[in-house]
Amino acid sequence: MDNTTKQTPLTSLGEFGLIDRLTAKIELHHKSTVKGVGDDAAVLDYEGKQIVVTTDLLTEGIHFNLMYVPLKHLGYKAVVVNLSDVFAMNAQPRQITVSIALSSKFSVEAVDELYAGVHLACEQYGVDLIGGDTTSSMTGLTISVTAIGEAAKKDLIYRKGAQVNDLICVSGDLGGAYMGLQLLERENEVFKVNPQEQPKLDGYDYILERQLKPEARGDVIKALKTLSVKPTAMIDISDGLSSEIIHICKQSNVGCAIYEEKVPLDFQTRKFADELSINPLVAALNGGEDYELLFTVSLADHDKIKNDPDITVIGHITEAANGTNLITGAGAAIPLQAQGWNPLKGEKGK
């Protein structure tokens, strides 16, 4: 929050004034949006398509820290993480709803910033904002986004379709968002001790962006369509590669072999992991928030995907009895563990 500009208390607008302000600029683009904001409910008409619906709830202090997360980025990310789930079904996102709970520490200008990010994501991904809810909170900010998308029935891809010998593929690179978070946390600790100290973020723009402004891989969905490849199973990587591949394997009743040296890691991810003396592979396996797509394709499709620089084959599906394994450079099989974050188990938030 920029404290030098004038801050208007939320009470000066009231709930309805605030909703009007947040929704004033909305333009609707999809034929499927019959009615957006302004009545008791939005009205959608998908003309025979199958509909996917997904929702995420983010709480201040648990999922984000406003000490170093700009509100505009938060608004953007809150939308993007939901669109990622829609793409992971091989569906196209069309509409979102956004619900917020605000404590009195937030000004009108602060909420404007949050919504600037929400609107930007809507524009970037071509989705209509069709409603939401606005309420007050005792303890900071909560934001919940619901995304709605469409797909022809034959196009939907579930977690359960992986077959023995399928190739396991991942888009982009992994572990960057986690390393970006470690960097932000480190600099925040320094700032708490000495507010005069400038944060040392130079040379790490990529991992910071991976944490603060992730993108949903609709481009990969499009590329697969162009290549005429329909994955047999798919999931987005929100909780780390380990837990996501275990989801696919459990639901498909298969096992897997993931090759350690095939897991794509960016230079900055490696460099900062090196600086912290941690193995960047751990960030890829257990870090999460990369929002890349993890999918399986039949062996016959290998030629179609092998030249796509954005897709890496990291292993293959095996019989369930073999288990879910990471194969090290030396050839040892180590069982993968789902260490994805579970706040209800009281583990450290990320």
Q: Which amino acid does the sequence have at 142? A: T
Q: Which amino acid does the sequence have at 315? A: G
Write the CA distances from 301 to 210, 232, 239, 305, integer angstroms: 29, 11, 27, 7
Residue 328 CA from chain centroid, whole number: 28
Using an 8 Å Cβ cutoff, are 264 and 170 in contact? yes
What residues between 3 and 32 interact with ligand ADP by CB under 6 A? 19, 22-23
Residues in the interface with Mg ion (CB under 5 A) total 1
Give the 3-state secondary structure of residue 24.
coil
Residue 180 touches which of ligand ADP, Mg ion, none (Cβ within 5-8 Å per kind): none
Contact string 126-165 vs Mg ion (x = CB under 5 A)? -------x--------------------------------
Using an 8 Å Cβ cutoff, are 161 and 250 in contact? no
How far is Cα 26 from Cα 185, in angstroms, rounded to an integer?
35
C-beta of 146 vs 238, nearer to ligand ADP: 146
Contact string 108-137 vs ligand ADP (x = CB under 6 A)? ---------------------x-xxxx---
How far is Cα 125 from Cα 74, in angstroms, rounded to an integer?
16
Residue 175 touches which of ligand ADP, Mg ion, none (Cβ within 5-8 Å per kind): none
Q: For residue 317, report the phi and psi dihedrals to the nearest 5 degrees.
A: -85, 140
C-beta of 23 vs 252, nearer to Mg ion: 23
Among 14, 17, 38, 126, binds ligand ADP (CB under 6 A): 38
Residue 22 touches which of Mg ion, ligand ADP, none (Cβ within 5-8 Å per kind): ligand ADP
How far is Cα 170 from Cα 229, in angstroms, rounded to an integer?
14
C-beta of 93 vs 340, nearer to ligand ADP: 93
Give the 3-state secondary structure of residue 347.
coil
Contact string 68-107 vs ligand ADP (x = CB under 6 A)? ------------------------------xxx-------
Positions touching ligand ADP (CB under 6 A) are: 19, 22-23, 37-38, 40, 98-100, 129, 131-134
Which residues are at the interface with Mg ion (CB under 5 A)? 133
